Amino acid sequence: MHKVITKCPVCTKEMKIMKLKCNHCNTIIENEFSISKFDKLSKEQLNFVEVFLVCRGNIKDVEKQLGISYPTVRGKLDEINNELGLAIKKDITKEKERIMEMLENKEISSEEAVNLLKKL
């Protein structure tokens, strides 16, 4: 089985599913079918969502499970939210303050802080 291709390999626009077939009785249904938002996620992104759900949204547990840093977890969450069309408009001032606080508390390195600030 292959994952549903959601973007055209030529122009990268969204593709539509037009035909479904039953492998048991060979029934074929042709129409225009929609896909789930989650079908747009890569295997890596789906794996991350699964780990996030197993960890019940606890970012520290996600960090431990995947062996990645807090900023990386946040970055992956932002990436997935963007892909799903769930991006939330950020309050940049509060986000900058939070990053600086994490840096002061030595929760992130200066390099990680710079990278996070660039993404704002």
Q: What pLDDT was estimated at residue 76?
A: 95
**In this model, does residue 120 exceed pLDDT 80?**
no
21 strand-pairing partners:
28
**In this model, does residue 7 exceed pLDDT 90?**
no
Cα separation of 78 and 101, whole Å?
20
Average pLDDT over residues 8-16: 89
Place 106 in a pLDDT band, splitting at 50, 70 and 90: very high
The predicted model scores a pTM of 0.57
Place 3 in a pLDDT band, splitting at 50, 70 and 90: confident
Q: Per the structure block, which two tokens stand in for 107?
A: 């929760």
Q: Per the structure block, which two tokens stand in for 70?
A: 């807090």
**In this model, does residue 93 exceed pLDDT 70?**
yes
Cα separation of 75 and 66, whole Å?
14
Q: Per the structure block, which two tokens stand in for 25?
A: 């009785």
Place of tokens 């002061």: 104
Cα separation of 5 and 35, whole Å?
10
Among candidates 75, 76, 71, which has minimal Cα distance to 51? 76
CA 119 to chain centre: 16
Average pLDDT over residues 17-32: 93
